[in-house]
Amino acid sequence: MMRTRTAQICIDSEALRHNFQRVKSLAGDSKIIAVIKANAYGHGVQAAADAFSQADAFALATAGEAIALRQSGVTRPLIALQGCFDSEELKTLSELNIQTVVHQPHQIALLEQCPGLKLDVWLKVDTGMHRLGIPLAMVEAAYQKLRACKSVRHLRLMSHLANADEPDHAKNDEQLSALDRLHKMLNLETSMANSAALVALSESRLQWVRPGIMLYGSSPLSAKTAAELDLKAAMNFESKLIAVQQLEQGDEIGYGSTWQCRQAMRTGIVAAGYADGYPRHAPSGTPVWINNSLCPLLGRVSMDSLCVDLRGVAAEVGDRVVLWGKELSVDVVAEHAGTISYELLCHAGSGFVSSTV
Ligand SMILES: Cc1ncc(COP(=O)(O)O)c(C=O)c1O
């Protein structure tokens, strides 16, 4: 197939497998739910499902994502984290043996209305994040209803930490204690830990861990780099230098003329822009890797190109450029761009993945 863009995203299956082994070694006896929602954080859900084939289950965001993955031939247990919103969807999940999360009373009512179905259900509890989950005061009643439901086969418990990436945050203890009380009272298998908690809060591992971002080679903790955690970048976002220029003192660069040369200097144009998933809001100074040097981005990112500072760098038209990947962690780019790796990976990968090796 002819490539239409110069920028390329290549997914490294070996890195995905390596990161899964890192999860495995941290998880100990806990079972692993590999989170592969949003097209596996932009990496391609099929490639991820293949690389994480030893996972005990896969988590998708929506019922639709889970249904599509099952219909593509993946036979591992699948979990729809947002659950079901109508009886048709619930029926399809039951037929395809997809587990559903219940976080709203409406979803319990749906299960009660469909006694002929059989589903494995995760009761999601709001222990303090106030996103999805049954409030603590209503959990026991929800549990009793689900227990009495003919359509519920296995029942398990889950919650989500709001501040796991800050392991010393007081709220972590609060949320973990609340979940621990329920776990003991209801005697259900329980899941809490995302990547950050798996790495830094060993008491959160419980029976099932639920990592996402670390599987893709990005650090879940700001205090530790991916390399320090022995994680390997799975997405390599690369392009080429398509122009080299000699600019004069006072020359302004790009839309809005936001960057002005303080001296005569060599600059380069890279064929990658926001159409390829590079963040438009990345400011001047964001590093771009060229020939073993980190070249600062200059001026605004355009749709198909961006400008870099080539002072002191031996680089020519045609040279390989890495926007992020093995040579330059996506975490570094995300920090410069004032966002998180999750957003960069999802955006870049949702546009296109050129190849998986
Ligand atoms: C409910 C739930 N569990 C687990 C995860 C995985 O989190 P992380 O990618 O930080 O490991 C997510 C991701 O957002 C999530 O929403």
The answer, yes or no, to whether any atom of ligand 1 lies below 6 A from the CB of 213, is yes
240 classed as catalytic = no
Of 35-39, 155-159, 351-355, the one with minimum mean pLDDT is 351-355
Q: Which class in CATH covers the domain with range 13-216? A: alpha beta
- Token readout for 229 is 């955690």
Interacting residues of 155 by C-beta distance below 8 A, sequence separation 6+: 120, 121, 122, 123, 143, 146, 147, 188
The residue written with tokens 């390829």 in the block is 276
The tens digit of pLDDT for each residue in 220-240 reads: 999 999 999 999 999 999 999
Identify the CA nearest to 103 among candidates 121, 128, 77: 121
| pLDDT over 80 (residue 353) | no
Point out the catalytic residue in the list 24, 31, 37, 118: 37
**In angstroms, rounded to a whole number, what is the distance separating the alpha carbons of residues 172 and 159?**
12
- Chain segment 183-213, per-residue pLDDT in tens: 999 999 999 999 999 999 999 999 999 999 9
Q: Is the CB of 124 under 6 A from ligand 1?
A: no
255 among known catalytic residues: yes
Give the model's confidence band at 1: pLDDT under 50 very low, under 70 low, under 90 confident, else very high.
low
CB of 133 closer than 6 angstroms to any ligand 1 atom: no
| Separation in Å, CA 349 to CA 7, 33, 36, 107, 352 | 12, 22, 13, 32, 5
d(CA 55, CA 177): 27
CB 210 near ligand 1, within 6 Å: yes
- From 224, 255, 274, 278, active-site residue: 255
State if residue 220 touches ligand 1 by the CB under 6 angstroms criterion.
Answer: yes
Asked whether 101 and 160 are in contact (CB, 8 A), the reply is: no
Tell me the average pLDDT across 73-97. 97
- Start-to-end Cα distance in the chain: 16
| Residue 212 CA, ligand 1 centroid: distance in Å | 6
Averaged over 150-178, what is the pLDDT?
A: 97
Q: Which residues contact 71 (CB under 8 A, 6 or more apart)?
A: 96
Average pLDDT, the chain: 96
Residue whose Cα lies nearest atom 14 of ligand 1: it is 212
Mean pLDDT along residues 279-307? 98
- Interatomic CA distance for residues 77 and 139, integer angstroms: 25
What's the whole-number mean pLDDT along residues 269-298? 97
Q: Let me know if 126 is exposed, middle or buried by CB neighbors in 10 A (0-12, 13-18, 19+).
A: buried
The residues, ordered by sequence, that sit 6+ positions from 170 with a Cβ below 8 Å of its Cβ are none
**Contact status, residue 210 vs residue 193, Cβ threshold 8 Å:** yes
Domain extent listing, the chain = 13-216, 235-356
How do residues 308-348 score in pLDDT, each as one tens digit? 999 999 999 999 999 999 999 999 999 999 999 999 999 99
For domain 235-356, the CATH class is mainly beta
**Residue 82 CB coordination number (10 Å):** 20
